[in-house]
Amino acid sequence: MGALFKLWGQPKLQSPSLIVGWSVDTGNLGAKVTDYLNRKLACQSFAEIEPVGFFPLGGTAVEDDMARFPESKFYYCSRNDLVIFIGDPPSYKWYKFLNLILDIAEHYCPVKELYTIGGMISLGPSTASRELLGTFNSPELKKTLSPYNFYNLTRELDYETPPGQRPTLSSFLLWTAKRRNIPGVNLWVPIPYRLVAMDDPKAEKRVLEFFNQRFDLQIDLSDLDEEIARPILTDQCQFIVAAGGARVVAHTQDHELSFAMPISKAEVIAEQLKVTHEAGARYPINSYLAYELPFPKGFVDCMDYLRQDD
C-alpha cells in the first residue's frame, strides 16, 4: 500500500473526524471550505495520494499560466482533532481511490466519523438563504446531529440518481465508509445556478457555521460576512461579465451574468438603463446581432481541414 501514497508526518490525534472536499465542485464549495479550514486552523499536511493509476497523465491542465497537476492531500489539526482531505476527483478506479482515503484515515489517524462537502445546483434566486442538507449512512449519526436541524440537516430527502447517471463520488465514499462501520454524512448546499461556475461565500459560510458549532472551532467568519455584503459595505456595484469569446463561442446570455448593487445605486442605474434603451442600445449586445453564431477564423479553418477527404 505504501507505493500508492506518500507519508511525511504522523498526526497525534485522539478520535478525529474526517472532512472530505473535492476540488471540482459546484460553486467551488469543497475546495473553498477545506482551504478556509486549513488556513484558519493552521492545519499541517501529512500525506498525499500518488496520482499514477487514478488520473490521466498524458496532459497537464494550465490555470492562470500555471501548470496544475492532480493533488490529493491530507491535513490535520491536533488542537481540534480533525483530519481534512482535499483532492481531485479520480478519473479511474474510484473504488480503489476511495478505499485508499479510508485506509490512510483509519490506519494513521483512527477516524470516528466522516463528513463530505458538496454543492448541488438550485433553481432558486441568489438572494435566497442557503440550506444545509444531509444524507446519512448511519441512523445513529443522524440522531446525534438532530439538534442541528435548524439547518434542515436531518430533513427527510427522497432522491434517486437519474437513469444513465452514476451516483456522486461523495455518495460512493459514504457507502464505502458504511461497509467499514464508519458513520458519515454527505453535506449538501443548494447553490443558485447562476453561481455554479463561481464562488458562493453564502454557501461556504453555511457549511463553516455548522462545523464551527459541531467541533467548537471558534472561527471568526466575519471576513465571509464582508465578502457577502461587499456591495453594501463599499457602496459599489459588483459584477461579473462575459468576455467576447464567451459571448460568441459559448453563447453566454445576459441572464447568465452576475450583478449585485447597493440600494443607493438603484435609481441611477434604472435611469441610465431607460436612457440607453430609448437610444436604441443595450448592454452587452443585442442577441440578434450574433444570431448566426459566428466562430473565430481559427475555428473555421480547423473545421474546414477536418472535413477534407483523406
Contact 193, 122 (CB under 8 A): yes
Q: Convert 96-165 into a string of H (helix), E (strand) and C (coil).
A: HHHHHHHHHHHHHCCCCEEEEEEEEEECCCCCCCCCCEEEECCHHHHHHCHHHHHHCCCCCCCCCCCCCC
**Rounded to an integer, what distance in angstroms lies between the CA atom of residue 257 and that of residue 247?**
11
Q: Containing H/E element for 46?
A: strand 44-49
Q: Output the nine-digit C-alpha cell for 62.
A: 494550465
In angstroms, what CA-CA distances link 290 with 247, 252, 253, 287, 300? 9, 11, 11, 6, 16
In angstroms, what CA-CA distances link 4 with 11, 53, 93, 127, 245? 19, 9, 13, 44, 41
Which strands make up the sheet holding 184-192, listed edge to edge? 5-7, 44-49, 72-77, 82-87, 17-22, 113-122, 184-192, 133-136
Say whether pLDDT at 77 is over 90.
yes
Q: Containing H/E element for 298?
A: helix 297-307
For residues 15 and 295, the model is more confident at 15
Q: Output the nine-digit C-alpha cell for 86.
A: 482535499
For the chain, the domains span: 2-228, 232-307
Whether the model pTM is above 0.85: no
Say whether pLDDT at 249 is over 60.
no
Residue-level pLDDT at 64: 60
> Considering only the top CATH level, what class is 2-228?
alpha beta
pLDDT tens across 158-194, in order? 666 667 677 789 999 999 999 999 999 999 998 887 7
Contact 183, 114 (CB under 8 A): yes
Mean pLDDT of 60-80: 79
Residue type, 126: S
Q: Output the nine-digit C-alpha cell for 5.
A: 501514497
3-state secondary structure (DSSP) of residue 206: helix
In angstroms, what CA-CA distances link 209 with 20, 146, 147, 150, 154? 16, 16, 14, 12, 16
For residues 305 and 63, the model is more confident at 305
Mean pLDDT of 189-210: 86
Query: Which of 97, 116, 137, 84 minimizes the C-alpha distance to 1?
Result: 97
Say whether pLDDT at 98 is over 90.
yes
**Rounded to an integer, what distance in angstroms lies between the CA atom of residue 218 and that of residue 39?**
14
pLDDT tens across 256-265, in order? 566 677 777 7
Say whether pLDDT at 252 is over 90.
no
Residue-level pLDDT at 1: 47
